């Protein structure tokens, strides 16, 4: 039998055909925009290591959120910067804390915006760790009670989705229970399930003022050398009641995104983190790369790996680019 000359290029012949047969599609409906809210008024404070990103006071956050919603971005992920920090991170679970203030203001002023709140203690503790810090380590079980209180506080304020990022054992079960008991059984949990101990978080720690004052987070975040460990964490969180699983960071962990998609039955989110953002921004500002093309390519790779939801600091830009393409 003669070898058949197969012309795969037929389906790459023009843009219309390429769009028709594209296997993944970057959609505005997939986007979540991370934002940092701080005390005060009339504040829009640039984050030096993340050009184009800011710390917002509640009033300016509302103004910005209105613009974000007009662009069509459906959701934001809120991180809080407290008025004060202490050993137990008490403002994290204060009903008048910065996140509760922000959520209430957003719900009163911005229609149809999904508000996702990060649940962790690192921004609120004086030592910068994600829980109760004793003798050089985070004490897991006593931290769970504080995280549950924080999650409930956010739900009471009006958060649409709770996103625990602490990586404590058992926290999904504990948070699910306290939400259900208090009448918030319809609030989904987006679990930071495969959160790696990554060097890509550096700029975020400036943005959220959350750098550990001593030690590191390697006793509770995943070792970058491990794949099966992440799979185990993903499975556990699904079993404990998570509604969405997250992989963080995204670009260096595409294999973990693919594993989450293949192994678990619930949606998968991926967080394109601050270090990924800042590297591309720096290269683009030096005219070494085309920012728009690189961002589209990298974000398509995250979707191609299996992500259903994209948490990205480029959400606004992508929304504008997609709008331009449709006009």
Domain map of the chain by residue range?
Answer: 26-326
Q: What is the mean pLDDT of the chain?
A: 94
Instruction: Give the tokens for residue 294.
Output: 């690189």
Instruction: Give the tokens for residue 8.
Output: 């795969």
Supply the residues annotated as catalytic. Answer: 195, 248
Q: Which residues of 204-239 are buried (b: 16+ CB within 10 A; e: fewer)?
A: bbbbbbbeeeeeebeebbbeeeeeeebbebbebbbe
Cα Rg, the chain, nearest whole Å? 20
Neighbours of 66 (CB within 10 A): 14
Is the pLDDT at 27 greater than 80? The verdict is: yes
pTM above threshold 0.85: yes
Q: What is the DSSP letter of 271?
A: E
CATH number of the domain located at residue range(s) 26-326 in this protein? 3.20.20.70
Contacts of 287 (CB under 8 A, 6+ apart): none
Is the pLDDT at 326 greater than 70? The verdict is: no
pLDDT tens-place string over residues 293-325: 999 999 999 999 999 999 999 999 999 999 877
* Stretch among 16-25, 135-144, 242-251, 307-316 having the lowest mean pLDDT: 16-25
Percent of the chain with pLDDT over 70: 98
> Residues 310, 148, 155, CA angle at the centre, nearest 5°?
60
* Cα(326)–Cα(308) distance, integer angstroms: 22
pLDDT tens-place string over residues 118-173: 999 999 999 989 999 998 889 999 999 999 999 999 999 999 999 999 999 999 99
Is the pLDDT at 1 greater than 60? The verdict is: no
* Cα(278)–Cα(48) distance, integer angstroms: 10
- Closest-CA residue to 236 (of 225, 222, 250, 223): 222
- Closest-CA residue to 279 (of 252, 304, 309, 311): 252
Instruction: Give the tokens for residue 226.
Output: 């491990």
Contacts of 116 (CB under 8 A, 6+ apart): 32, 75, 76, 77, 78, 159, 160, 161, 162, 163, 190
Percent of the chain with pLDDT over 90: 85
What sign has the CA pseudo-torsion 321, 259, 275, 133? positive
* Cα(260)–Cα(104) distance, integer angstroms: 33
The answer to whether the beta carbons of residues 179 and 187 sit under 8 Å apart is yes
In DSSP terms, which residues pair with 245 in a beta bridge? 191, 268
Please name the residue that has the structure tokens 């600091």.
313
| Overall average pLDDT of the 180-201 stretch | 96
The model's confidence at residue 327, banded by pLDDT at 50, 70 and 90, is very low
Neighbours of 265 (CB within 10 A): 7
Please give the pLDDT value at position 224: 97
């Amino acid at each position: 039998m003669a070898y058949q000359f197969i012309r795969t290029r037929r389906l790459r012949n023009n843009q219309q055909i390429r769009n028709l047969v594209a296997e993944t599609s970057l959609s505005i409906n997939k986007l979540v925009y991370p934002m940092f809210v701080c005390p005060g008024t009339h504040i829009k404070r640039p984050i030096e290591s993340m050009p184009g990103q800011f710390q917002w006071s509640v009033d300016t956050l509302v103004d910005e959120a209105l613009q974000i919603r007009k662009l069509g971005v459906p959701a934001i992920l809120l991180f809080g910067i407290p008025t004060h920090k202490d050993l137990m991170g008490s403002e994290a679970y204060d009903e008048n804390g910065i996140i509760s203030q922000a959520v209430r203001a957003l719900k009163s002023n911005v229609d149809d915006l999904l508000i996702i709140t990060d649940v962790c203690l690192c921004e609120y503790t004086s030592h910068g760790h994600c829980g109760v810090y004793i003798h050089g380590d985070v004490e897991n079980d006593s931290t769970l009670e504080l995280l549950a209180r924080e999650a409930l506080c956010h739900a009471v304020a009006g958060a649409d989705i709770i996103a625990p990022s602490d990586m404590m054992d058992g926290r999904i079960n504990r948070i699910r229970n306290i939400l259900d008991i208090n009448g918030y059984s319809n609030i989904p949990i987006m679990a930071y399930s495969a959160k790696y101990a990554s060097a890509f978080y550096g700029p975020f720690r400036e943005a959220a003022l959350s750098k550990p004052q001593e030690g590191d987070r390697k006793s509770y975040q995943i070792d970058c050398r491990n794949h099966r460990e992440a799979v185990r964490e993903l499975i556990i969180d699904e079993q404990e009641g998570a509604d969405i699983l997250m992989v963080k960071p995204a670009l260096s962990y595409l294999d973990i995104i693919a594993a989450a998609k293949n192994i678990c039955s619930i949606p998968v989110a991926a967080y394109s983190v601050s270090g990924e953002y800042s590297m591309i921004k720096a290269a683009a500002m030096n005219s070494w790369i085309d920012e728009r093309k690189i961002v589209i390519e990298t974000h398509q790779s995250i979707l191609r790996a299996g992500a259903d939801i994209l948490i990205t600091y480029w959400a606004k830009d992508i929304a504008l680019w997609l709008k331009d393409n449709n006009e």
